[in-house]
Amino acid sequence: MDHLTAPQTFFDLAPADRTLPEWGRAADESVLTGQYTVYQRSLRDLERDFYIDASLADTVYEPMITSDELLKTVHSASYPLRKLRESTPVRALDMWEAIASIIMPSWIDRANARGADLIERGRARAADRKEKYIERAPAARTTGIKSFHIRDSTGESTEIMRKIISRVESQTNAQLLWSWLATYHIGFLQGKNQNADYQESRQSTILRAKTPENWVTGIDGTGFVSPANMRSWANRVETTLKSLDIIFGCSPHEDDFNHSVIFVLCHLSMGGSAIIYLPKLSVGSTLAMIHLFTQCFEKSQIYWTIGDTLFLCGTNFIGGIPARGKKLLYDYCLADTGSANLTPFTANYLTSESYVATASRLTEITHAIYTWRREFYEKMLNVYAKLEGSSAAQTFEGFITQELQDLYPDQSGIWVKKFPGM
């Protein structure tokens, strides 16, 4: 298994057809749930087989909680962008890779197409006037661009947006005037997420002090991705930005994914783009939202980053959901809490050719991802077991470091060449 190149994969999600769904409220006991359960059992089997005191996470590069320092060392060394991780948050690297692979090329193509169209119009006008067309360097074209960032408390997507604009401007003859709004989270969770939640809130406080006019929480003041707050954000967009060219769904929480998709489908402008963090592919409601997403974009994909993170991406939004459908989706947001398999469709629609095709495609995708992850963990634990029983590792200083560098070479230089501008 090549653990460094298996990710960085595009999974196309071309719909079987684009027909208006049958709105309803039916549960989908998704095959994705069964796949996820089998995957989880395989991870528990590995933990028992190798007698480790850690719980293997769903994605392979999540920080490993264990008292075994050697296991921590091996796991940390397996991350392919270790040098970049020293200066850049992992989430920012993942998002930049997805955007640079999918969203940014479409923007550059559109900007170049607009420039070519202006030149053709100039030639046509010259021909109509029977004048000689004089080829000139085209004047810079000023284009407004408006973005909305859902729960970007740590500022990764807003900073990435600045870099996107710089890259697009450097590769086209366009000047982009950027307007944006971002939501932030100020609530505090309990239990294992409490410290991370505190750090997220602390970072958002620092960011808001720089550009307070760009940051919003919502009607309840918490920043949770709730229906009430989503309506509040939509009103703010309507009164300030008027339209949205791109929406970022930045929340790493599984519960926020469905609501982020619904906000995109209800409020993105025609021709726009979206990129949404996809924590898991394990329940029926996630399948339903991805299916609906594919119906509304000319091109939709799941991108799997080198850091084992998934993003749902869409370019050239074509809409298709009527006002009644949008209202029903907001009502669904209120009903889906605590019901992981609830969908906004009728039971009959869940058996339609279009929906079944989406389910089949996602089954293929999850099988590929889970297979790679399990093989990755198995290799990593074999490396750990070998080093744990090695007399050389216990005798020679630097042996473990050198061994891990040979097994897991750092890919930061290759990554930067492939995704410049970060």
Q: In this predicted model, what pLDDT tens digit does every residue of 287-317 receive, in sequence order?
A: 999 999 999 999 999 999 999 999 999 999 9
CB 321 within 8 A of CB 266: yes
Asked if pLDDT for residue 118 goes beyond 90, the answer is no
Query: Exposure string (b/e) for 241-263, b if CB count within 10 Å is 16 or more?
Result: beebbbbbbbbebbbbbbbbbbb
Share of the chain above pLDDT 70, in %: 85
Across residues 334-346, what is the average pLDDT? 81
Could you say which DSSP state residue 243 is in?
S
Kindly list the strands in the beta sheet with 273-278, ordered across the sheet, starting from the edge strand earlier in the chain. 9-12, 297-304, 310-317, 273-278, 246-249, 141-150, 174-183, 215-216
CA distance 223 to 235: 15
The one-letter amino acid code at 264 reads V
Any idea what the Cα angle at residue 20 is, between residues 11 and 230, rounded to 5°? 75
CA distance 380 to 419: 27
pLDDT in tens, 373-414: 999 999 999 999 999 988 877 777 688 889 999 999 999 999
Could you say which DSSP state residue 349 is in?
G
Asked if pLDDT for residue 111 goes beyond 80, the answer is no
Q: Which of the listed ranges 119-123, 151-155, 282-286 does the model predict with the highest average pLDDT? A: 282-286
**pTM of the prediction?**
0.88
CB 148 within 8 A of CB 244: yes
Lowest mean pLDDT across 90-94, 186-190, 274-278, 323-327 = 186-190
Q: pLDDT category, 189, cuts 50, 70, 90?
A: very low
| Closest residue by Cα to residue 279 from 296, 263, 257, 249 | 257
Q: How many helices (H) and strands (E) does the chain have?
A: 15, 10
For the record, the structure tokens of 371 come out as 């297979």
Q: pLDDT category, 188, cuts 50, 70, 90?
A: very low
User: Which contiguous run of DSSP H or E holds residue 276?
Assistant: strand 273-278
CA distance 3 to 78: 9
- The per-residue pLDDT for 190 is 36
- The per-residue pLDDT for 347 is 94
Classify 132 as helix, strand or coil.
Answer: coil
CATH number of 9-418: 3.40.50.12760
- The per-residue pLDDT for 270 is 94
Query: Using CA atoms in the order 68, 74, 80, 84, what is the torsion angle rounded to 10 degrees?
Result: 60
Classify 146 as helix, strand or coil.
Answer: strand
| Closest residue by Cα to residue 294 from 8, 11, 2, 39 | 11
Place of tokens 């990129």: 275
The one-letter amino acid code at 355 reads Y
Q: How many CB atoms lie within 10 A of CB 118?
A: 14
- The per-residue pLDDT for 421 is 76
Higher pLDDT among residues 115 and 232, named by residue: 232
Cα distances (angstroms) measured from residue 31 to each of 268, 294, 302, 344, 361? 30, 19, 18, 18, 11
Q: Which of the listed ranges 79-88, 184-193, 204-213 does the model predict with the highest average pLDDT? A: 79-88
The one-letter amino acid code at 78 reads S
Across residues 135-142, what is the average pLDDT? 60
- The per-residue pLDDT for 200 is 52
Spell out the domain ranges in the chain.
9-418
**Cα maximum dimension of the chain:** 87
Any idea what the Cα angle at residue 66 is, between residues 64 and 71, rounded to 5°? 75
List Cβ neighbours of 100 (8 Å cut-off, separation of 6 or more): 167, 419, 421, 422
- The per-residue pLDDT for 4 is 38
How much is the mean pLDDT over the chain?
85
Lowest mean pLDDT across 35-49, 93-107, 368-382 = 93-107
CB 53 within 8 A of CB 66: yes
CA distance 304 to 12: 11
User: Which contiguous run of DSSP H or E holds residue 300?
Assistant: strand 297-304
| Closest residue by Cα to residue 343 from 277, 278, 292 | 292
